[in-house]
Structure 1
Amino acid sequence: MLKSKYFVPFLLLLVLATACRYQPLVPSSAAEGGDSVRFYSRMYALNSNFQIEADTLWLHVLPFMDTVPLLRGDEVVVAEFDVHPQDSVDSVWVKVARDQETIGWIQEHRLLDNIVPVDPISRFIHFFSNAHTLPFFLVLAVFFLWFVYRAVRRKQIKLIWLNDIDSGFPILLSLLMAIAATTYNSIQHFVPETWERYYYAPTLNPFDVPFILGFFIVCVALALLVGVAMLDDLFHQTKAEVAFFYLVGLVSCCIFIYVFFTYVNVYIAYVCLVAYAAGCIRWLCKPERYPYVCGACGAKLRTKGICPHCGALNE
């Protein structure tokens, strides 16, 4: 297993690797030429597949004398673009088709307000961009913390703090969450059109997107890998019940870190990220954090006294 003290240099090497190539997000159909080049600035191209999110969406059938409905959950494909300069609301119209019988035109802004791409990555982005997601996460984090507090107060478990586990993976996970959230904040602040293009043409390959998006993808992938390694390390050091409550508290911390670094002013986020990263690196490089071992359960301890894992007294 990769030791935590070597993880930061390894992360820097991956970041440099993603910087080796910067390629704009151009849909394949736009690269081939034709009408889609004309509408590339609209972030999506011909043959894009979407799912309807509105309860009912009406399509106009030529010669605009009739309409056909699309219902929630229907999947449609973009068949054609057209421009109507006389339309003062939205001059761009899009022709979409559900099947051979359900084909029609709709103003672009109405279409985009009521659809989501069928790609699972786009759906994931759509969920996290929803206005209800932030309150949901905050309520979830508060509930987790309240759950842990009740368990500790009733003495159902011994509380284990972040640094009571002889592992650098929890610190690394929280740091990666902070870096990913700050990167996302930067994208939304400086290049929101890049994120919008990625929303309509997502990929998990960090080398096929602009550097800042590639860096974000690498951070998310590393966070998942570190999370798996942390689970393996944690369940080898303590009992399942204690590990569960530890994970609940860690998830709450990660939620607050994500929310803070995502929604705070981007320049404040940079300052806080530098300070937080410095503290994490200093903690990871601290020698002999656990010089003692519990005589009852064998867990590593920072100081003598009551073991936070099993409650035994070590003198």
Structure 2
Amino acid sequence: MVEKVLLFVTAVFMAVGCTYSRPQIDMKWDCTPQQRDSIEFAYRHHFTENCNFLVSGDSVMLLPQSPADVMQSLGDTAWVVENDMVVVADIVRIPGNNPDSVWVKIARDQMTIGWVSEKTLLENVTPDDPISQFIHIFGNRRIVVLCCIAIIAVAVMLLKTIRRKKARIVHFNDIDSIYPTLFCIDMALIAIVYASIQHFVPQTWQEFYFHPTLNPFSVPPVLSAMIVGFWGLVLLGIAAFDDAVHKLEWFESVPYLFTLAGMAMVVYLVFAATTMIYVGYPLFAAYVVFAFVKYRRNRTYKYVCGKCGHKLRHKGTCPFCGARNV
């Protein structure tokens, strides 16, 4: 009975912790109806007046009239183009004008100002934040296709590298360091958390996209896990780089680091895709076991070369300097 109660409480906590809290507007607050509507709009649409955007589309046409007059006459129009910075000046609703029931007045400067539907606006702008722009760039389908092509090329290179007995590669012929293994595991974990957010609580991701942060203590727990994983990835990457540079010659460390990055990219795409069909969760558990088993086998160095000092798993010819160890 106790176990069931704990399981229920845990499930409720996880469900609540996956979303941003809804703003509670106390009736005692000294708020006008317009202010209440503005707070509710910001919660549902993730932006409000005075928000800044960067135009990412080729161009956006702005109508000079109020939205109620758009159906009557277009009049003169203004345009904003790619890389223009705009600010939200006003927001109105037009009942019965679905799907364009929300119209937004944006301004680039005092001379370039006008109205555009919310749908058109969000399709052609990104929030004025480096993190949001980074998310937008790597969420572009063309970028994803190019990344897939690059990853296929990296995978081919990895297969060729594995065939070379002397080549160093994470999981297969790794260096005596836990950091590359943890780096790949952390990348898989980030992919699972990201895909889970996109699949189960997309509104949480939308709010993070419009108001990003690298502070794990100011967001819901599920986003905190992803941000902590990101910071862990940075630290593990630095540690893996340092170990590779100090434990390998420069002509070995460079290809090793490239293959490590390629392996991490492959791991990310595999787990991001499989999590959407629920296969990623058991696959992650299997991958963690596989990674640690391979690490344990790779670190079993019993001997040291008497000439160059490299660690060896068995006696014989040193693969690094060619010296004979008996």
TM-score (norm 2): 0.80
Matches within 5 A, 1:25-44: 25=20, 34=35, 35-39=37-41, 40-44=43-47
Match of 1:109 among 115, 119, 126: 119
Match of 2:250 among 237, 240, 244: 240
Q: Deviations over 1:70-124 (max 9, x none)?
A: 1111010112110011323310011111111111111000000011112010011
1:302 and 2:313 correspond: yes
Q: Percent identity?
A: 38
1:178 is matched with 188
2:87 is matched with 77
Q: Deviations over 1:6-64 (max 9, x none)?
A: xxxxxxxxxxxxx9x95964799x99972431312012222211111221211111244
Matches within 5 A, 1:177-256: 177-256=187-266
Matches within 5 A, 1:152-171: 158-162=166-170, 163-171=173-181
Q: Deviations over 1:134-162 (max 9, x none)?
A: 32222223333555677899x8x941232
Match of 1:269 among 280, 303, 314: 280
Task: Work out the CA distance in 2 between the residues paired with 1:138 and 1:41.
Answer: 34
Structure 1 residue matching 2:217: 3-state secondary structure: helix
Q: Deviations over 1:195-215 (max 9, x none)?
A: 111000000000100111100
1:46 is matched with 49
Aligned AA (1:201): H
Answer yes or no: is the 8 Å Cα contact 1:49–1:77 preserved in 2.
yes
Q: Deviations over 1:214-236 (max 9, x none)?
A: 00011111011101011111111
Answer yes or no: is the 8 Å Cα contact 2:19–2:201 preserved in 1.
no
Aligned AA (2:312): L
Higher relative contact order at CA 8 Å, sep ≥6: structure 1 or structure 2? Answer: 1
* Number of aligned positions between the proteins: 293
Distance of aligned partners of 1:313 and 1:186 in 2 relative to their CA distance in 1, 3 Å threshold: farther
Aligned AA (2:93): V
Task: Work out the CA distance in 2 between the residues paired with 1:230 and 1:172.
Answer: 9
Distance of aligned partners of 1:287 and 1:263 in 2 relative to their CA distance in 1, 3 Å threshold: closer
Structure number with bigger Rg: 2
Task: Work out the CA distance in 1 between the residues paired with 2:80 and 2:22.
Answer: 26
2:289 is matched with 278
Answer yes or no: is the 8 Å Cα contact 1:164–1:308 preserved in 2.
no
Task: Work out the CA distance in 2 between the residues paired with 1:270 and 1:152.
Answer: 27
Q: After alignment, is 143-152 or 297-306 more displaced?
A: 143-152
Task: Work out the CA distance in 1 between the residues paired with 2:161 and 2:279.
Answer: 35
Distance of aligned partners of 1:241 and 1:295 in 2 relative to their CA distance in 1, 3 Å threshold: same
Structure 2 residue matching 1:79: 3-state secondary structure: strand
Task: Work out the CA distance in 1 between the residues paired with 2:298 and 2:169.
Answer: 19
Task: Work out the CA distance in 2 between the residues paired with 1:309 and 1:258.
Answer: 32
Aligned AA (1:185): A
Aligned AA (2:168): I
Structure 1 residue matching 2:89: 3-state secondary structure: strand
Distance of aligned partners of 1:147 and 1:164 in 2 relative to their CA distance in 1, 3 Å threshold: closer
1:121 is matched with 131
How far has the Cα of 1:295 moved from its partner? 2.4
Distance of aligned partners of 1:250 and 1:287 in 2 relative to their CA distance in 1, 3 Å threshold: closer
Match of 2:106 among 88, 91, 96: 96
Task: Work out the CA distance in 2 between the residues paired with 1:206 and 1:251.
Answer: 25
Task: Work out the CA distance in 2 between the residues paired with 1:24 and 1:109.
Answer: 23
Structure 1: which 5+ runs fail to align?
Answer: 1-18
Task: Work out the CA distance in 2 between the residues paired with 1:45 and 1:89.
Answer: 19
Structure 2: which 5+ runs fail to align?
Answer: 1-13
Q: After alignment, is 279-288 or 222-231 more displaced?
A: 279-288
2:4 is matched with none
Answer yes or no: is the 8 Å Cα contact 1:174–1:257 preserved in 2.
yes
Distance of aligned partners of 1:160 and 1:307 in 2 relative to their CA distance in 1, 3 Å threshold: farther
Structure 2 residue matching 1:208: 3-state secondary structure: coil
Aligned AA (1:290): Y
